[in-house]
Amino acid sequence: MLFNSFVFWLFFAAVLVLYRFLDHRWQNRMLLVASYVFYGYWDYRFLALIALSTVVDYVVALGIADSREPRHKKRLLIVSLVCNLGLLGFFKYFNFFVAQAEHLLALIGLPVSTPILSVVLPVGISFYTFQTMSYTIDVYRGRTTPTRDFLDFALYVSFFPQLVAGPIERSYRLLPQILEPRRVSRDDFAEGTYHVLIGLFKKVVVADNMAPIVNSVFSRPPSELSGTEVLVGLYAFAFQIYGDFSGYSSIAQGTARWLGFKLSWNFRMPYFAVNPSDFWQRWHITLSTWLRDYLYVPLGGNRGTLTITLRNLMITMFLGGLWHGANWTFIVWGLYHGALLVVYRMAAAGSWGGSNLSDCGRAATVLRVILFFHLVCLGWLFFRAESISQVGVLLKVLVVDQHLTDFAVYSAAMILFFAGPLLLLEYWLERSDELLRVVSSHWLVKGFIYCYFLLMIWLFPPLTQQVFIYFQF
């Protein structure tokens, strides 16, 4: 089910009505059934996978908690990691690694013919496997006490608002909300309404209206493109992927809030970041903190020499890029962001004799935001391109041919029309440093913003319904 579909809202209305008439225990049971219906709507065959991850991590977590032998605890944790990463690796990366191995063997004069399986990627598998892995790791570390109620744990794994595209919730944040009775207050309803409206606006109005521009640029032969068209294509994709992904996260927050749950913020005005570290504290926050806590810190983090820190950054971002998909474009995108982190970290450390980059006035901050936004857009070229060769050709066009075309002018106008108001709103939120300022604003201000959202959703729906981009991850 798509959040921007009538089917989902009919489904959610039924869930909401039933939810109001049930006590806490039966609310959880109903939400578990609803979550499996929601996931099974995509493809019922993949319910077995999420059920398998649930059973394995439930049993492993209880075994870790009940064991007094450190070695046994460690072996159980390895079972969980192997099971989850094995499922993820097979469904997401098997064909990719087989193809790369075949290519490598051919280069050294050992041509082989390897099997290519017709494997369908289960929607959201990267999200729920990371969520279940964090549970067993936190139990192993002593940060989470495992629940002995299997059905409540199954709801933690499959909670439908955030199941297929996050946010990736930690057990110590979401599980207590499942185990304890919930009451939906007026504030919950008000905040949920804001999240749903801005999420639908970001997805339906901004992201889906950017999609035709992006698809036109990346599907046309490079010989038919000018550098300005490639540039506006990158701008359009920057707002498409932001509106698409942050829109999903906002709707997930809103629907969960209407059920009495508080999900984590996954985005915080990322295009106002001044450097890569700042960006990853604003973009896909639950993934970046997951990589930090379960990968970067165990590798050593920023303990030790600067060289070790930079190595750890590159490894983390390499695996972060690989998490997004089995394609060299995602790997290079991750390495590109790793390189940005390294360069900015070295500059901040004075490796080139410069002063601390945080010592800037307002004008310098604006310039840094503009510079880093364009560095992010350059990275989006790797993310969106079909292949590394396409990246090279489009980069060449971008640099060599800068003549202005009617399509470039039209596309720029569309970006300003659809994404400009969102940037103005986020600038207001950034200046106030209050993510929910709209909710607490005067009713006239709030009414104007909500009416604008609704009017734009009504007047400018996309010509064709677009699936959320991150469903493929």
For the chain, first and last CA: distance in Å? Answer: 16
Q: Is 195 a catalytic residue?
A: no
Q: Residue length, the chain?
A: 473
Spatial separation of the C-alpha atoms in residues 91 and 125, rounded to whole Å = 9
**Catalytic site residue from 324, 337, 403, 442:** 324
Q: Positive or negative, the Cα torsion across 22, 27, 33, 36?
A: positive
| Contact call for residues 376 and 238 (beta carbons, < 8 A) | yes
| Contact call for residues 62 and 100 (beta carbons, < 8 A) | no
Spatial separation of the C-alpha atoms in residues 372 and 344, rounded to whole Å = 11
Spatial separation of the C-alpha atoms in residues 269 and 243, rounded to whole Å = 11
Q: Please name the residue that has the structure tokens 């002593």.
A: 142
> SS3 of 50, please?
helix
Torsion region of 121: left, alpha or beta (phi above 0 gives left; psi -120 to 50 gives alpha): beta
Nearest to 386 by CA among 217, 250, 152: 217
How many Cβ atoms from other residues are within 10 Å of residue 225's Cβ? 22
Query: Where would I find the H helices in 142-200?
Result: 150-158, 171-179, 186-200
Spatial separation of the C-alpha atoms in residues 169 and 289, rounded to whole Å = 11
CA atoms within a 13 Å half-sphere pointing along the CA-CB vector of 11: 21
Contacts of residue 187, Cβ cutoff 8 Å, sequence gap at least 6: none
Angle, alpha carbons 284-243-389 (nearest 5°): 80
6-11 long-range contacts, CB within 8 A, separation 24+: 7/41, 11/37, 11/38
> SS3 of 185, please?
coil
Q: Hey, which residues are catalytic here?
A: 324
